[in-house]
């Protein structure tokens, strides 16, 4: 962290770069939309979905996403809230795309965890939380759908504490639930927030309260609900920790707000919480040193590549998290991997569903750089220094299939398409040492369908996936002599990934154990770092 360093310059300190994590259906889209609404990025609720749909019709890949009701593409949105600049990085919700999610979470400084008040901590919430935990990412919690019948407040908090092993500090407290839900007591500011059920886009009425004995409470809350609120708040104060910013920032405590995204209720309080307590842009790790956001030189790292966002142009956009400096359009940056200079002439910022040219950006911001394939996940852009950012993982696929072009004459085209998807991070592509064809590896089964559909749409290539004799892949590294010996004996199991690294393919864990035993100098790994 940034101990003993001078405060960040205001332009950087005002940035909040975060993602929302949630189990599908908890309300992530609705909350995103309300963020954009209050951030002034859209005028009317409903636009995110409406625009999303307009865009979706352009591509069948995205059409599939729509048909299946899952979100497979992530993007970044920037908007201002009060004096803050929020950068919200969208994470795909479906578990099949967890690798993408992992990488996205390396690009943010905090996460907002949305849970459904009736369902509590669900499976996907827990998985995503674990990813955040790996990096001690600060987490702010929003308990949504309080306008419906919800669980008891203490029960929800207990569940989070026990299931996720994190301290929970209530930032607000719900009054009533379901049909009788009136609003919340804002614990941080001693205010009463009353929900307006009549107008979903209207922000709640706020009444300043002078402690729990303030007679004003009686004017707004029926006697029974009020005595319950007083009782619960007293218990909460006794049993639950008060919000402590350091504990939030080191990932050991999460503040929780209760609300109803669809009713715009509790959302502004949450946004205020992100602004006030959320982290400023954090130092980013590289192999040699940490990069601090207030360093003068511009540096950034590609954490996602999205191809064919506009099918007419066949473009690719590399999403770059700026780690330091003040970027201006037209800047010449060093592409560390190829050692070539790149002039960044048309960087884009994503404002709601629109793209806009980014004239400037600061550490913490996410910019999109259109390119023709030079930029890959893990690549660094700097003003000269040969940095290698660390921590962006690549996982061994858990499912493998062979792939063939429907038309054998199009094999070369297929190769090109596959390599592009590999660079984008959408799949792992392995070329076996023996035989023709490719083996494609993914983390979740839906990715095969997405790939087949994209190859067909974007390259007009019908393809066939077929069962592979292998089900696991491990990267292999070691001294050359030992590698040569190992490869000569295991030819039928060896392939190269799209970076030219050696991979061992097998169906049996037993095989992996055997290699580890027989070749003690070799290292078999299920992850490798992208660079
Ligand atoms: P997701 O992105 O996390 O998957 O969730 P999304 O926002 O799409 O919300 C899932 C469903 O929950 C939607 O209903 C949405 O309207 C509803 N919802 C979101 N926030 C609240 C809330 O505060 N209270 C209540 N009662 N419902 C909420 P749907 O019927 O699936 O879609 P739609 O027809 O409303 O668009």
- Ligand 1 atom having least distance to the Cα of 148: 26
Fold match flag (10-77+93-179+242-279 vs 285-382):
yes
75 lines ligand 1 (CB under 6 A): no
Say what the pLDDT of residue 55 is.
35
Taking the CB of residue 51, how many other CB atoms lie within 10 A of it? 14
Question: Using one digit for the tens of pLDDT, what is the confidence trace for 350-403?
Answer: 665 456 677 899 999 999 898 888 898 899 999 999 999 988 777 778 889 999
Task: Provide the CATH topology of domain 393-529.
Answer: Alpha-Beta Plaits (3.30.70)
Short-list 3, 9, 74, CA closest to 296: 9
Q: Is 94 annotated as a binding residue?
A: yes
Residue 186 to residue 190: CA distance in whole angstroms: 5
Q: Binding residue per annotation — 93?
A: yes
Q: Are 266 and 203 in contact (CB under 8 A)?
A: no
CA-angle at 273, arms to 272 and 274, nearest 5°: 90
Q: Where are the domains of the chain?
A: 10-77+93-179+242-279, 285-382, 393-529
Q: Is the pTM of this model over 0.90?
A: no
pLDDT at 58: 28
The pLDDT tens digits for 79-111 are 899 999 999 988 765 555 567 777 888 999 999
Pick the CATH number of 10-77+93-179+242-279 from 3.40.50.300, 3.60.150.10, 3.30.70.270, 3.80.10.10: 3.40.50.300
What is the per-residue pLDDT across 209-236, written as a single tens digit (0 to 9) for each?
A: 888 889 999 999 999 999 999 999 999 9
Reduced to 3 states, what is the DSSP secondary structure of residue 506? strand
CA of 83 to the centre of ligand 1 (A): 29
Q: Tell me the C-alpha distance between 316 and 307, whole Å.
A: 4
Measured by CA distance, the residue closest to atom 27 of ligand 1 is 145
274 phi and psi angles, rounded to 5 deg: -60, -45
Whether 122 is in the pocket of ligand 1, judged by its Cβ within 6 Å, is: no
User: Rounded distance, CA 301 to CA 387, Å?
Assistant: 10
CATH of 285-382, one of 3.50.50.60, 3.10.180.10, 3.40.50.300, 3.90.550.10: 3.40.50.300
Q: Is 29 in the pocket of ligand 1 (CB under 6 A)?
A: yes
Contact of 388 with 319, CB cutoff 8 Å: no
Contacts of 500 (CB under 8 A, 6+ apart): none
Ligand 1 neighbour 148 (Cβ under 6 A): yes
Residues 351 and 77: beta-carbon distance below 8 Å: yes
Contacts of 499 (CB under 8 A, 6+ apart): none
- What is the structure's pLDDT at 391? 80
Q: What angle do CA 288, 292, 298 make, to 5 degrees?
A: 90
Q: What residues of the chain score a pLDDT lower than 50?
A: 1-2, 45-74, 353
Characterize the bridge pairing of strands 348-351 and 354-357: antiparallel
Round the average pLDDT of the chain to a whole number and report it. Answer: 86
Q: Which of 19, 21, 24, 27 to mutate to test the pocket of ligand 1 (most atoms within 8 A of CB)?
A: 27
């Amino acid at each position: 962290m940034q101990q003993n360093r001078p405060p960040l310059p205001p332009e950087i300190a005002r940035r909040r770069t975060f993602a929302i994590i949630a189990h599908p259906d908890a309300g992530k889209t609705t909350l995103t939309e309300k963020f954009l609404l209050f951030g002034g990025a859209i005028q009317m609720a409903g636009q995110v979905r409406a625009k999303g749909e307009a865009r979706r019709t352009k591509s069948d890949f995205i059409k599939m996403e729509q048909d299946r009701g899952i979100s497979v593409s992530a993007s970044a949105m920037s908007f201002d809230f009060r004096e803050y600049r929020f950068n919200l990085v969208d994470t795909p919700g479906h578990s099949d795309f967890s690798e993408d999610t992992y990488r996205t979470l390396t690009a943010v400084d905090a996460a907002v965890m949305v849970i459904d008040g009736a369902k509590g901590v669900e499976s996907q919430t827990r998985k995503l939380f674990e990813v955040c935990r790996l990096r001690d990412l600060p987490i702010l919690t929003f308990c949504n759908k309080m306008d419906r019948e919800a669980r008891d407040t203490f029960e929800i908090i207990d569940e989070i504490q026990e299931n996720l092993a994190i301290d929970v500090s209530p930032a607000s407290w719900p009054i009533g639930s379901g049909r009788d839900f009136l609003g919340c007591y804002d614990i941080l500011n001693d205010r009463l927030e009353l929900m307006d059920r009549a107008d979903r886009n209207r922000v709640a009425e706020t009444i300043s309260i002078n402690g729990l004995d303030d007679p004003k409470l009686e004017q707004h809350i029926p006697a029974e609900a009020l005595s319950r609120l007083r009782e619960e708040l007293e218990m909460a104060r006794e049993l639950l920790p008060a919000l402590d910013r350091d504990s939030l920032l080191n990932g050991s405590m999460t503040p929780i707000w209760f609300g109803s995204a669809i009713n715009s209720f509790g959302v502004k309080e949450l946004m205020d919480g992100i602004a006030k307590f959320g982290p400023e842009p954090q130092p980013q790790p590289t192999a040699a040193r940490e990069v601090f956001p207030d360093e003068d030189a511009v540096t950034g790292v590609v954490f996602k590549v999205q191809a064919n966002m506009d099918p007419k142009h066949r473009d690719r956009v590399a999403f770059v998290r700026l780690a330091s400096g003040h970027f201006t359009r037209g800047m010449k940056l060093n592409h560390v991997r190829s050692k070539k200079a790149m002039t960044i002439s048309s960087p884009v910022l994503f404002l709601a569903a629109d793209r806009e040219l980014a004239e400037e950006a600061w550490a913490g911001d996410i910019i999109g750089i259109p390119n023709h394939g030079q930029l890959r996940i893990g690549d660094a852009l700097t003003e000269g220094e040969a940095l290698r950012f660390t921590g962006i993982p690549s996982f061994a696929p858990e499912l493998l299939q062979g792939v063939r072009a429907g038309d054998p004459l199009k094999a070369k085209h297929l190769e090109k398409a596959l390599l592009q998807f590999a660079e984008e991070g959408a799949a792992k592509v392995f070329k076996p040492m023996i035989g023709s064809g490719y083996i494609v590896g993914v983390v979740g089964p839906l990715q095969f369908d997405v790939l087949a559909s994209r190859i067909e749409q974007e390259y007009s290539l019908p393809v066939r996936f077929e069962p592979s004799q292998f089900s696991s892949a491990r990267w292999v590294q070691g001294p050359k002599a030992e590698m040569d010996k190992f490869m000569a004996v295991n030819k039928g199991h060896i392939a190269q990934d799209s970076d030219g690294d050696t991979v061992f393919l097998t169906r049996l864990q037993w095989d992996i154990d055997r290699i580890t035993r027989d070749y003690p100098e070799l290292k078999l790994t299920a992850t490798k770092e992208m660079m």
